[in-house]
Chain A
Amino acid sequence: MQHSIKDDYINSIKNYTNQFEDTNFRRIACNDFKSWPSPREETWRLSRLGSLSRKKIKPINPNLKKNNNNTSTLIGSTIIHFIDGAYREDLSSKLPSGVNLSVLSDSEGLKYLQKIKKSNLSDHPSTNVSLSCTPSIMKLTVSKDTKVKDFIQIIYEGGEDNQSVHPVLYLELEKNSSLYLIERFNHLTSLAMPLQLIELRNKASLNSIKIFNDNEKTYNLSANCVYLSKESYLNSFSLIKGGIFTRSETHAYLNGCNAKLNLNGVYISCNKQHHDLTTAIYHDVPDCTSKQIVRGVLGGKSTGVFQGKVRVAQDAQRTDGQQMSRAILLSDTASANAKPELEIYADDVICAHGATVGELDDDQLFYLNSRGVPMDKAREILIKAFLEDMINQSVDNSLHDFVFKEAELALSSIITKEIF
């Protein structure tokens, strides 16, 4: 039989996992990784991994002496560093009281695996490869009734050419706790496979911002599994601007009544970048709300994908599920795909979705022109407004400027190329 690169990667994972003592969850995950998803699989049809699967990649051995880059950090935030996928206590700040970071044991790792396997992320490559190869599963816990005031910022860096990194996180917000979390993916590697399990207990509240800004050669296959209990709240916003191929996939299970979820995102794509926001929201109990707004701005030969599924189970009466995606193409060679999907088995629900792909609005451009604003400036104003409007709706007031500046950095290079 011909020896394929795919087999190389599987073998390198197997060899790699042998070095660990906590082998149980790794062994199961490793056996479950059969191959990269094929474009014949519906959810990977629009985001093909052909060129990744042809690369000779092996899991990285974290270099625990590697220093962090000087990523600008938010003032007043607690910093947690992951380099080469490994948590680096020496570079991280002291955690505020009520917040704890620990390493999962082998048996806890098995439970972690079971929780992810229960979800529709069970076959996601990051689930199986990252659980096999992660240096350790890190658990961040916010204890009961703790309202963390300062932002916690997690910065993921490191990696090498032809190597893959595997940060795995378990985030648990105990009953009635709250947290603002900002995560920044700044890898310089061929492949990053961050995996997260998030559990929000009753009345817990998480404001989460993820900024994907990996190196221009990086493939990032982020996988997130979220369980929301009664009256819990997740307000999540993702900004995807880096990497050659970034796919953020999130599966959220609303398991407790009156849980509320906002799952918003923006992608800003240029050159040959491919950006993909894939989500699945499962309404399994009554009286939950989910809202999703996704916007994209694309230039060059970039491609954007939004796939959003909302499933409302038979018992999930009085569900309110809204989904809206809009992409603006600034060049003739860019393309965007939107695939909203509603699967409704309950009868008393409000669900809506809409998707548009197009250019800037002629009426709006003319209105600005008619006030003396030149066409190139008018286009710049409208593109920025398109994202700013969305960021204002999605992100806590105190973080508007921070997030918009992050978006603006990526936007300005597209605007320079496509407009001026």
Chain B
Amino acid sequence: MSLLEIKNACLKLDNKNILNGVSLSINSGEVHAIMGPNGSGKSTLSYMLAGRDGYELEEGEILLDGISLSEMEADERARSGLFLAFQYPVELPGVGGMSFLREAVNSRRKFLGEEELDHLAFVKEARKEASKMHVKDEMLKRAVNVGFSGGEKKRFEILQMAMLKPTVSILDETDSGLDVDALKIVSDGVNAQRNNDNAIVVITHYQRLLDYIIPDFVHILSDGVIIKSGGPELALEVEKNGYSGLINAA
């Protein structure tokens, strides 16, 4: 059974068709890349999966580990194991990084029937994971994403992913705004979490990220439908010929 199953997803925003029947089946242990030009519906797809208000499906169905997400709010989806790394992580002035992480992790643990971590155990765990992502203690004391550089924001997203141990992670343009060094740190963080029990969906414009996070499958999204799927070589084709060639051929 697929870990994430998207069946004929159709969605309108302001009466405009954005997703026009996206279907995708993702098995555990797999990494899928979704590529597409601006306005192809990539970010809409990620918001729809995460359950953002206003991004409800007109038609189709999403199954996470066999369970339909359509009746679930965003927070339930997250507790069930879905994670979205934001393209633009949101600043939360006044919300300390450590207490934010703890709130998130304990929500997930409660759902899984695990005991909530006490303060000390949590801080220890958070520091361990943070050091892997080159996130300094001082950053965890600050308000979430406030005054963080582009790279820090993305590293903090992947740190959350590491702490929450989701079954399916969607990384929405995680490479945007990153320099080469930061890209490597973030990619290493993602790769460290690849295992046979989870799946990762990488959404990106560019092939560059896929040099670091090597996908099993690449899909091209255009005008709200997947027009072509293939292996990593498809990303190289995009890099060489651009999206227009593929779109015209489709």
Taking Cβ atoms with an 8 Å cutoff, the residues of A that contact B are 362-364, 366-375, 377-378, 381-382, 384-390, 392
Contacts and interface: CB of A to CB of B under 8 A. Distances in A.
Contacts of B83: 370
Nearest to B50: A370
A261 to B, nearest CB: 23
Contacts of B93: 385-386, 389
Interface stretch (B72-80, B200-208, B226-234): B72-80
A370 B92 contact: no
B128 interface: no
29 contacts: A366-B52, A366-B90, A367-B92, A368-B92, A368-B100, A369-B73, A369-B74, A369-B75, A369-B78, A370-B50, A370-B52, A370-B78, A371-B78, A371-B160, A372-B75, A372-B79, A372-B108, A372-B164, A373-B107, A374-B107, A375-B75, A381-B95, A384-B94, A385-B95, A386-B94, A387-B94, A389-B94, A389-B143, A390-B94
Interface in B65-87: 73-75, 78-79, 83-84, 86
Given A377-B103, A385-B93, A372 B52 contact: no
B28 to A, nearest CB: 21
A401 to B, nearest CB: 14
A370 B94 contact: no
Interface in B91-116: 91-95, 100, 103-104, 107-108, 111
- Chain A interface, DSSP helix/strand/loop, else mixed: helix
B50 to A, nearest CB: 5
Contacts of A368: 75, 92, 100, 103
B183 to A, nearest CB: 23
Nearest to B109: A372
Given A366-B50, A374-B107, A382-B92, 19 more contacts: A363-B90, A366-B53, A366-B90, A367-B90, A368-B100, A369-B73, A369-B78, A370-B50, A370-B74, A370-B84, A371-B75, A371-B103, A371-B104, A372-B78, A372-B107, A373-B107, A381-B103, A384-B94, A385-B92
Nearest to A388: B94
Interface residues on chain B, size class: 20 to 34
A386 B91 CA distance: 12
A177 to B, nearest CB: 33
Contacts of B111: 372
A367 B108 contact: no
B60 interface: no
Contact of A367 (B79, B89, B107): B89
A384 B96 CA distance: 11
A386 B90 CA distance: 15
Contact of B74 (A366, A377, A392): A366
Contacts of B50: 366, 370
Contact of B164 (A363, A371, A389, A392): A371
A373 B104 contact: yes
A367 B85 CA distance: 10
Nearest to B78: A372
Contacts of B91: 364
A362 B53 contact: yes
B101 to A, nearest CB: 9
A377 B107 CA distance: 11
9 nearest CB pairs, A to B? A385-B94, A389-B94, A372-B107, A371-B104, A369-B74, A372-B78, A367-B90, A372-B79, A369-B75
